[in-house]
Amino acid sequence: MPGLRGKTIELQPLITLRGETATFREIIQDIEDVLDTQGASCAIVRLEVRYCTDCTVYVEGAESEDSEFSTVVSQGEFTSVTPEVELMRLNRQVPAGKAGRLPNLLRWRVAADDGVTEWATTFRVTVTIAG
């Protein structure tokens, strides 16, 4: 990752997703599009949500494809004119299992809220490699 220091990577360009819970309760970023952060010492994750109704957008991390992904940052119900932006600084030196640790892999996931029949969101995710 030395060549990526200071670069911003679009983990997900601006996208609008909608669905019915009878068809999709959640959508998970394809494993081929997951960001591998190995070699980076720290990064800043930026989750920008322009619209979100009856669902939650998550950015998740894991140490390997076989390990469980856990939430790094999330944003739920949101219907304002101004986009909601969540920033999270992640550092490789934070012990494993602690908040703020930079995991080896980053992905996004959208999950419908319980008890709803339809959901929709518009969001983007960028990651800046800071070191």
pLDDT digits (tens, 9 = 90+) for 51-79: 899 999 999 999 999 999 999 999 887 66
User: In the chain, how many domains are there?
Assistant: 1
Q: What residues make up the domain containing 96?
A: 2-129
Cα 79 from Cα 95, distance rounded (Å): 36
Q: What is the CATH number of the domain that holds 65?
A: 2.60.120
Distances in Å between the Cα of 86 and the Cα atoms of 2, 19, 30, 67, 125 are: 26, 24, 22, 25, 10
For range 100-126, the mean pLDDT:
94
Res. 102: pLDDT tops 60: yes
User: What is the structure's pLDDT at 3?
Assistant: 65
**Percent of the chain scored above 90 by pLDDT?**
66
Q: How confident is the model at residue 80 (pLDDT cuts 50, 70, 90)?
A: low
Res. 13: pLDDT tops 70: yes
